[in-house]
Amino acid sequence: MQNQTVTINPTRLLADLHQLRQFGAHKCGVHRPTYSPQDMAAREWLMERMREAGLSARMDGVGNILGENPRARHKLLVGSHSDSQNYAGWLDGALGVIYGLEIARAFVECGGDLPIGVDAAVFADEEAHFASFLGSRSAVGLLNDEEIDRSINLTTGQRLRDALGQAGLGAMPRMTIDPSRYDGYLEAHIEQGDDLEARNLRIGVVTSIVGIHQYRLTFHGVRNHAGTTRMAIRKDAGAALVALANHIDARFRELTAERTVWTVGSIRLFPGEVSIIPDRAEMLLQVRDDDPAVLALYEDELRALVLEADRKGPCTVTLEVVSQSAPHRMDERMQNALLDAAGVLAPNAFQRMPSGAGHDAQILAGVMPAGMLFVPSIGGISHHWDENTAEADIVLGCQVMSEACQNLLLNGVFPQF
């Protein structure tokens, strides 16, 4: 193989992506929630395609699929997830899954004399219909049966155990990936933002996946009549929330980290009636950055603002940390292999960048070197059926990743190269 080049087939790549799109087709996108009939049909189809390509495919007790190259001894794992968000886009997850399939079969086809190759991975429920990163966490040993027992579908309320049973997975064992069998994990994904597009670039090499801090702010005041209670004596929890949310936004804008994002996704007032002064109000605030120091800076600022508002009154304010995930660095060697390949195949059209969204790669990064590649999202749209990427970019991304895989594996076998 040393003198052969692993070459992906663009026509087949695109055809398979469009084929996968038929499972749960909805408008221009897909509705393929984890373990739905259309999700399971897609997984069966993916296993067929793997077997046709000469891979040995098997699915486990949470729906994860591993398509193994039976001849290779030095291998990379390449994949993503095939479930979608509800009524969402056709490329989120699917792109990385078909890249894994295409690159794995390109290695099989290449048929060189070196024992190198790629295994294709398809994870389940990255989109958290039941639990975030369910499949990839199971694959690295971070999911226990107790969590499976208590998880329910956030949309339908169905119990995970029942969903697994209905999908025919109830009696099947779960697979754990043996990290010693892989040089590393690579995942491709649509960017889901507009940074590449805005800079007229075609490839992003992910430096790290952002950490996410989620907070709940709760305001307590006094419920009273909205007509008879003078403004001066009110303890209006809703008004306190609006004032502090506005203050937080203004102060956060003064902090200068370039890529930090924050979002208030939910606000609720209680009792929520037009003629009653709310005695309780809640907001959910999320902050994302790829630098732990920046996340800490924002949290310090947030705590100070909450404390100040609570002391000032007239309402009390409490801050609760709902969840905190640390940023996940992508492996330097993986990044460099992707950068080198992009330098050859997409000169002057690539950049290093953090990932603002979470991905299975952050879970795999806990057990092996991991890397990620982004292709542009048209208009930055994602988690919506209008999500799309130019076909030329889809093809280029797969070529870059394939080239990076070959270089990594060749250097793994012959470190002197």
Nearer to a second copy, 8 or 287 (CB): 287
Cα angle 187-185-415, degrees, rounded to a multiple of 5: 125
CB of 259 to a second copy, least distance (A): 7
Quick one: which of 259, 329, 333, 352 contacts a second copy (CB under 8 A)?
Answer: 259
Tell me: cis bond preceding 271? Omega within 30 of 0 counts. yes
Question: For residues 55 and 74, what is the distance between their CA atoms, to the nearest angstrom?
Answer: 15
Pairing of strands 184-190, 261-270: unpaired
Q: How many residues does the chain have?
A: 417
Q: Which of residues 334-373 bind a second copy (CB under 8 A)?
A: 355-358
- N-term to C-term CA, the chain: 14
Please state the closest distance from residue 137 (CB atom) to a second copy, in A: 18
Which of 113, 145, 233, 254: binder of a second copy (CB under 8 A)?
A: 233
Residue carrying structure tokens 């000169």: 347
The stretch near a second copy (CB under 8 A) out of 34-42, 49-57, 94-102, 208-216 is 208-216
Of 157, 173, 265, 415, the residue at the interface with a second copy (CB under 8 A) is: 265
Which position among 268, 312, 320, 344 is part of the footprint of a second copy (CB under 8 A)?
268
Residue 156 as a binder of a second copy (CB under 8 A): the answer is no
In this chain, which stretch among 159-167, 223-231, 324-332, 363-371 interacts with a second copy, using CB under 8 A? 223-231
| Residue indicated by tokens 């070197």 | 369
Q: How far is the CB of 386 from a second copy (least distance, A)?
A: 11
User: What is the rounded CA–CA span in Å between residue 98 and residue 311?
Assistant: 55
Binding test (CB under 8 A) with a second copy, winner from 110, 114, 152, 261:
261
From the list 188, 193, 105, 195, the residue with the least C-alpha distance to 394 is 188
Q: How many residues bind a second copy (CB under 8 A)?
A: 61
Residue 204's nearest CA partner among 123, 135, 259, 125 is 259
For 391, the 3-state DSSP assignment is: helix
**Distance separating alpha carbons of residues 336 and 206, to the nearest angstrom:** 10
Question: CA 112 → CA 5, 360, 403, distances in Å?
Answer: 9, 30, 15
Which one of the spans 2-10, 44-52, 66-74, 221-229 is the region binding a second copy (CB under 8 A)?
221-229
381 counts as binding a second copy under rule CB under 8 A: yes
In the complex, which residues of this chain contact a second copy (CB under 8 A)? Answer: 191-195, 198, 210, 212, 214, 223-231, 233, 236, 238-239, 241-243, 245-246, 249, 253, 259-269, 272-278, 284, 286, 288, 322, 355-358, 377, 380-384
